[in-house]
Amino acid sequence: MRTASLERRTRETEIRLTLGLDGRGRADIDTGLPFLDHMLHQLARHGRFDLELHCRGDLAVDDHHTVEDCALALGAAIDRALGERRGIARFGWAYAPLDEALARVVVDLSGRPWAEVALGLVREQLGGVACENFTHFFHSLAAAGRLTLHVDVLRGANDHHRIEAAFKALALALRAAVVTTGEDTIPSTKGML
């Protein structure tokens, strides 16, 4: 089982996280932001990752630190659980619809952090989370996970549907990228990721 556990403590947040890449989609999540919890449940369920994530953040200030630090912790856990990334597919891509919304996510577990994110959200806030922080979530995840990530919401009139489709597509793309191929090689001409 490819797993990672970590604790992240700053003056702004305290996070405990355990991630299993070869799980069944079980999740125990409490970030203090129910809408973020909902999105992380989508990620765990549709990616078939077992995820336990508990965060106590400075929500009296705002939601930024909680969203950012949860993404950093999750990215770091993905990186640790992958180890040297031997025998993985490396690349993953997926489309996910939610009613009128359609999202596309492409992942490369390259070891090179990069994120291009186009969510097209109109509202300022969804469920107590500033919409700008969803873009920041994907950037922080890519940085800490040492992965290249492209997230594009192609259409959708409802911002809840747009962001949920993006998280579902992320789950499916990550699932495809982390799957083991049965080979004992690192999928790179460089010999390392």
Residue 118 has what pLDDT? 98
Residue 97 has what pLDDT? 98
The yes-or-no verdict on residue 1 having pLDDT over 90 is no
> What would the pLDDT profile of 27-86 be if each residue is shown by its tens digit?
999 999 999 999 999 999 999 999 999 999 999 999 999 999 999 999 999 999 999 999
Q: How far apart are the C-alpha atoms of 103 and 42, rounded to whole Å?
A: 14
Residue 148 has what pLDDT? 98
Residue 159 has what pLDDT? 98
The yes-or-no verdict on residue 182 having pLDDT over 90 is yes
Ramachandran region of residue 32, left (φ > 0), alpha (ψ -120 to 50) or beta? left
Give the C-alpha distances (Å, rounded to integers) separating 151 from 33, 53, 66, 107.
Answer: 22, 23, 21, 9
Residue 191 has what pLDDT? 86
Do residues 40 and 117 make contact, with C-beta atoms less than 8 angstroms apart? no
Give the C-alpha distances (Å, rounded to integers) separating 81 from 7, 22, 26, 36, 143.
Answer: 14, 10, 17, 22, 15
The yes-or-no verdict on residue 158 having pLDDT over 90 is yes
The yes-or-no verdict on residue 192 having pLDDT over 90 is no
**Domains of the chain, first to last:** 3-178 (3.30.230.40)
Confidence label for 147 from pLDDT (cuts 50, 70 and 90): very high
* Other C-beta atoms lying within 10 Å of the C-beta of residue 129: 23
The yes-or-no verdict on residue 16 having pLDDT over 90 is yes
